[in-house]
Structure 1
Amino acid sequence: METSASLRHALLTQREPTLTRIYQRTFPLVRRYVQQHGGSASDAKDVFQDALIVFYEKAAAESFVLSSSVSTYLLGIVRNLWRRELNRRSQLPLTDLSEEHAQHMAEEAEPAADGRDSLPVLDYVAQLGERCQNLLLAFYYFQQPLEQIAGRLNYGSIRSATVQKFKCLERLRKSVRTAVAHAVAH
């Protein structure tokens, strides 16, 4: 078990390798926990990223005291974040698409009239997972302020929401670039 001081020093001087080591050691536990409690592997990735941000912010503070293993501490954060996420999901209204809206969506999904396949960005947003999808749509489509998004999606701080938004956007850009490169190659 690492001491609080040695962990803080490793995070401040060698952040990337330290976080990578923590990720490799802890993520399988997180994925198993989230999947056993109604989530997907994508949900596990999202909640683990949030937990890592919370952990990093706490561990970098002088007053941080680690009284368990890093994995145990992180799993505790994940449990709290996942419980909040499940509560949030249970409060979302379940609505069906109207027939007119469903027809409109189907028409938009059809290939372009000139024979080229289109690359609908919303398909790629949907592949990111529900948490990223909610965050990006709230910020870019509904133009909600980050303060409101952070509160609604249970982020620890506005900074956490900003970091997560950036990560989600980067994942979206990467998947679109890959699809475009694949479409151009074929």
Structure 2
Amino acid sequence: MSNKLSSSVPTDREVVLGILNNSEEALNKLYLGYYPMVLQFILNNSGDEDDAKDVYQESIIVLYNKIKSGNFELSSKLKTYIYSVSRRIWLKKLSQMGKKTGNLADFEDVVAVEVDLEVHEEKDRQFEKMQSALVHLGEPCKTIIQDFYINNLSMQDISEKFGYTNTDNAKTQKYKCLQRLKKLFFQV
């Protein structure tokens, strides 16, 4: 048996293993496999195609983070999990827009996903706080932090880029920048 995924909807196990192994093919199959179901749900419940794309994208991120965190247990079908996450996200958006959510045209299977969504939303908030803190950090700190933690530059590269006499001076500067970033992060 080849280890290429079949052209139909992949099995739940294939998707989970694919995501754990950073397989782009598994993610693509996931997008193709379950998007029509979410699109149908959103269209039947006061939404349009753009809403469906946004909700589906967010649901896949929730699933992806859940699998990567290592505590994903397939207690339900992936289809049900994705549907449940999408449904909760859409219900929340509808209520934020002040629309009634009384009689939803619904799919029978739904699982509880509140905790997963809370974790996802908390990560989003933390990311936004970090972005804001970085903006307020100013130069050269912002670039040093980004070069080291995001662009994976070595202290040697950073030292040369900023004209420090040696890597120890660059490390000291990075340490000071991190202290300032922490202060800003907890103020935001």
Pick the TM interval, shorter chain: 0.3 to 0.5
Please report the TM-score for the alignment, with normalisation by the length of structure 1: 0.47
Kindly indicate whether structure 1 or structure 2 has the higher relative contact order, using CA contacts under 8 Å at least 6 residues apart: 1
The structure with the largest alpha-carbon Rg is: 2
Please report the TM-score for the alignment, with normalisation by the length of structure 2: 0.47
